[in-house]
Structure 1
Amino acid sequence: MTEQAPGVTRTSTRIAQAVTEVLQPAVWAAAMPVVVAVVAARTVPAGIGWGALAALFTAVVPFGAILYAKHTGRVTDHHLSRREQRRGVLLVGVASVAAGLVLFVVLGAPRPLIAVIAVMLVVLAGTTAVNQVWKMSAHTAVSAGACTVLALLVGPAPAVGVAAVGVLVVALIGWSRVHLGAHTVAQVVAGAVTGALLAAGCYPAVV
């Protein structure tokens, strides 16, 4: 078997680390509400306002809980590499997203925004449930769910292109997680399939 040169290995590892950080779940959770709200709201400023408020519940509070847990030694790192450390902070995330969903329904937010928050809730809840017994990838679950929502949001004609790009993005994220030894191939594939299926079922039902 041909061995990779050390320089090649170091480069691929740096790329994998960059992909893992830049396309981590918190980034998707912050960006998706803003994107969907801007598309769905009557004006861009209104969309940015709705999206920023949603991101508080979907990204800022959940990721803040992870950073606090890391600071206090409850978790090893912000990617929650150890499965047994995931339950508490993931439950905080579920509670935060659920609270945001209720608030946005009461406030009469744009329906697509409510739908994307609902998708985040079911994907996060599903990932949390599976991670009680098996370390399924949250990175691929969240990214696949987000890409599925984007494909549904843009309509039938451009959906094929969006879906194709989404598959490539999720595959890249999955590769990064496997390359870094954070997950097995089965765990990243299971995450992607779970996220996509939950989003495909939830988003049309709510919107």
Structure 2
Amino acid sequence: MTFPAAPAPVRVRPATLVAEVFAPAPLVLCLLVVAGWRAAGWTGALWGLGTAALVASLPMLVLRVLARRGRVDGHFVRSRAQRLPVYAATGVLTALVVAAQLRLGAPVLVPVTTAFVLLGLLVLLAVTLRWKVSAHVAMAACWAVGLGALTAPWAVPLAAPVPVLVALSRVRTGDHTVAQTAVGALIGVLIGVAYTAAAASLP
């Protein structure tokens, strides 16, 4: 089934802008680069940047192309059914990247961070089998908590408004209900807490 390509908007609504700026891809990029920098300076940051290009930027580029061709209903994929293969394919790609990182000797915090991105994808995939949930909010909440693990605890309250704004934007644009954003936030916080514990246990 194909969908008509969405016409270019005349103007960008603030809620749409928030969803674009704080989409999962740029937040994954931020987290991986910061993780790499913490682990090994510029070398680690380059590992994080390269990883993000594969597991975040590349899937989003593919989705934008598919959306333009009418294969999916938008680059954020509003349809629950269409999200399943997207999560599955991105999960396989991410798992392969983790395996490559371990084999090539990436700074350990980078594959650990990538593995938690994979965990998030698997949880979202499992939930999406029965119910639509906000991946935007899940990633934003995980990013806010994870940033504290990678920098300092005071970064968490500074980053906390981001998932709130993202949740409001996703409801405002009609892409999610309040319940779907709330569950997304819960998923993100739980994964972020687990990631914090894992990062703290590393030498």
Q: What corresponds to 1:172 in structure 2?
A: 165
Q: What corresponds to 1:90 in structure 2?
A: 87
Q: 1:143 aligned to 140, 145, 151, which one?
A: 140
Aligned-pair distance for 1:19?
0.2
Q: 1:198 aligned to 188, 191, 200, which one?
A: 191
Residue 20 (structure 1) aligned with residue 19 (structure 2): yes
Cα RMSD for the two superposed structures: 1.9
Percent identity of paired positions between Structure 1 and Structure 2: 32
Aligned-pair distance for 1:26?
1.3
**Runs of 5+ in structure 1 lacking a partner?**
1-10
Residue 122 (structure 1) aligned with residue 115 (structure 2): no
Matched letter for residue 33 of structure 1: L
Please show how residues 1-207 of structure 1 align to structure 2 within 5 Å. 14-41=13-40, 43-44=41-42, 46-154=43-151, 158-159=152-153, 161-205=154-198, 207=202
Structure 1, 15-24 or 28-37: larger mean CA deviation: 28-37
Q: What corresponds to 1:8 in structure 2?
A: none
**Greater percentage in helix:** 1
Asked if structure 2 preserves the Cα contact closer than 8 Å seen for 1:87 and 1:132, the reply is yes
CA deviations on 1:116-153 (whole Å, 9 max, x unpaired) are 11110101111121112111000011111122211112
Aligned-pair distance for 1:29?
2.0
Provide the TM-score with structure 1 as the length reference: 0.84
In structure 2, what is the Cα distance between the partners aligned to 1:173 and 1:20?
6
Q: How many residues end up aligned between the 2 structures? A: 190
Aligned-pair distance for 1:202?
4.0
Aligned-pair distance for 1:74?
2.4
Matched letter for residue 158 of structure 2: V
Larger Rg: 1
In structure 1, what is the Cα distance between the partners aligned to 2:83 and 2:175?
14
**Runs of 5+ in structure 2 lacking a partner?**
1-10
CA deviations on 1:4-50 (whole Å, 9 max, x unpaired) are xxxxxxx9x82111101111111112222112112221x32x13321
Asked if structure 1 preserves the Cα contact closer than 8 Å seen for 2:35 and 2:45, the reply is no
Matched letter for residue 138 of structure 1: A
CA deviations on 1:64-115 (whole Å, 9 max, x unpaired) are 3322432443211011111121111221111111111111111221122122
